[in-house]
Chain A
Amino acid sequence: GDSVTQMEGPVTLSEEAFLTINCTYTATGYPSLFWYVQYPGEGLQLLLKATKADDKGSNKGFEATYRKETTSFHLEKGSVQVSDSAVYFCALKGGATNKLIFGTGTLLAVQP
């Protein structure tokens, strides 16, 4: 069935460091791909999305490119801030079902 695999955390970075969180997926058909962010004590917020191959989603300095050939949707940011500390979830929708399927989440901790 459809699934999402993302890198284990926690990821600990210093402020202004470069961030990559890896995400790969397995799906039939052509799913849409999403990154959600969860700040402590809150629900999930959509960070960015891409709906077809080679699309790049971007928001708040974060980017991710839908790579069909490698079935990947890695999240990147050039210079992280302390306020980016949160849990990041990769997810897909579509494929064999129309449900949103999540990876296990990656905790990012940014130190000043």
Chain B
Amino acid sequence: NAGVTQTPKFQVLKTGQSMTLQCAQDMNHNSMYWYRQDPGMGLRLIYYSASEGTTDKGEVPNGYNVSRLNKREFSLRLESAAPSQTSVYFCASSEAGGSQALHFGNGTRLTVT
């Protein structure tokens, strides 16, 4: 019963390096999301994908790109990491519809030095 799986769990990058955070869900959900969590700021939406083949910007998209590879997978890419992107990143998925809850992965803790 995997749910939402994120890799890696931890990552340290130097400023300017690039990396891709991977996310996969096995619940056949249409919608997938990437959030970042910072102290005192709750969770902020970076990008989301309402369905396979579509992606849209959230509240804080600058510095990130996403790919909805197929229905299961939604990756987040940092092309040139900056210290301001040090955060904990969460992937989530849900059925379509306003009343549907999101299911979250366990997060990726990223540090950019």
Contacts and interface: CB of A to CB of B under 8 A. Distances in A.
Interface string B83-113: 0000000101010011111111111000000
Interface stretch (A11-19, A67-75, A77-85, A97-105): A97-105
Interface in A16-52: 31-32, 34, 36, 42-46, 49, 51
Contact of B99 (A32, A44, A101): A32
A51 B92 CA distance: 20
Interface stretch (B38-46, B62-70, B73-81): B38-46
Interface residues of A, number: 22
Contacts, number: 54
Classify the secondary structure of A's interface with B.
strand
* Chain B interface residue bracket vs A: 20 to 34
A49 B101 contact: yes
Contacts of A44: 43, 90, 92, 102, 104
A36 B10 CA distance: 23
Contacts of A51: 98-99
Interface in A83-98: 89, 93-94, 98
A100 B104 CA distance: 12
